[in-house]
A = this chain, B = another copy of it.
């Protein structure tokens, strides 16, 4: 598929799709014309990229991660205990973030719960008004 279709299917701009390629996250074939030729799996890959970026990972970290995720075999980390160590660190950071966010959300829920019904009602109307 060409770039506009991948853009449509993933909701990610062409600019970013080219940027991800520049960062080594995507490696589409090229047609004789120079047009990029993406494959079906790239749709999933782009979704992975978006998730990991939203989680605060950098493109270079993601670049390390993606080969492991596509190639079913763990050959890559088989040779590289250092990478495994990085992944463990990354996981710990993610867990800490999840805990933080979950705590924050609970607190938020408690605050929201203190709103008197009249205010809830007013807010609901505000929401409709948009």
Residues of A within 8 A of B (CB): 48, 51-57, 65, 68-69, 72-78, 80-82, 84-85, 87-88, 90-91, 93-98, 100-105, 107-116, 119-120, 122-123, 125-127
- Which residues on the B side are within 8 Å of A109 (C-beta)? 91
Copies in the complex: 2
* Contact A65 B108, CB 8 Å, known A100-B48, A100-B54, A116-B74: yes
Most buried by B among A73, A93, A105, A127: A105
Whole-angstrom CA separation of A100 from B52 in the bound complex: 7
- Which residues on the B side are within 8 Å of A74 (C-beta)? 110-111, 113-116
Are B119's CB and A78's CB within 8 A?
yes
- Which residues on the B side are within 8 Å of A102 (C-beta)? 98
Selected from B72, B84, B103, B110, the residue in CB contact (under 8 A) with A107 is: B72
- Which residues on the B side are within 8 Å of A101 (C-beta)? 52, 55, 94, 97-98, 101
23 interchain pairs, CB-CB under 8 A = A48-B100, A51-B100, A55-B97, A56-B56, A65-B108, A65-B111, A68-B107, A68-B108, A69-B107, A73-B114, A74-B111, A74-B115, A77-B119, A80-B119, A81-B119, A81-B123, A81-B126, A82-B126, A87-B112, A90-B108, A94-B105, A95-B105, A98-B98
